Amino acid sequence: MKKVAIITGGTSGIGLATAKKFLKNGYCVVVASVDTQEKIDAAMAELESLGEVSFSLCNITDRANCEAAVRLAVEKYGQVDVLANVAGITGKRQSFLEGDLDDTMKVININLMGSLNMALYAAQEMVKRHTGVIINVGSICGLMANSEAIGYHASKGAIKMVTQALAKELTPQGLRVLSVAPGWVDTGLMDQKAIEYGGKLHMKGRVVSPEEIADVIYLMSLPEAKAVNGTTVCADDGYTSFKGVNMRPQVLSD
């Protein structure tokens, strides 16, 4: 029987790259996402050419939507082996003193509570089979203060601790829970100035691609990664360790 992965945010950016990665490796995939119809249609056409995939319209802040996405996976494919919680937003890039706490709460609700909503329903299915992997996409902003707004930092810092707490609770029931923390990723929304500046902060002199993050997510889902649990794996090309590498005379080649 094929393994089954649910990918949130799977119609664009890291989520789309992750859905492609799992399909190329023989998984059945449920894409749980909200997006424009045009983007959904384009993404699904591309994904359907790679393997067996289904779409579930899913606002991850809506628990009923999350439950429906997991139910679709179970009813159509029989099980849930992997949940990749990729969906998220950065929110407005503004100072804390500007005081838009409504936006802060929106970011926290999507990035943190949305991931918890999906994790709950996926875990309830996984424990029945005493196996499964939940991978939460965090951020370097969950590990260090960076350029994003307070809501993004708060949500991603919480993802780090939620990952640890969930692993502690769910590991005795056969599950693994971990987080992948990307550096700056070119999802198609960064302008050239940001790409050039961000590239100088990474070891290879460029920002990270969505496909590189998808590769790490997939690798962490494998049985060979079973020792990786309750922790955050940095997929940041050295950003958190060597930020400012642009000051060196030469960056590393690919």
Residues annotated as catalytic are 152, 156
Cα separation of the two ends of the chain: 37
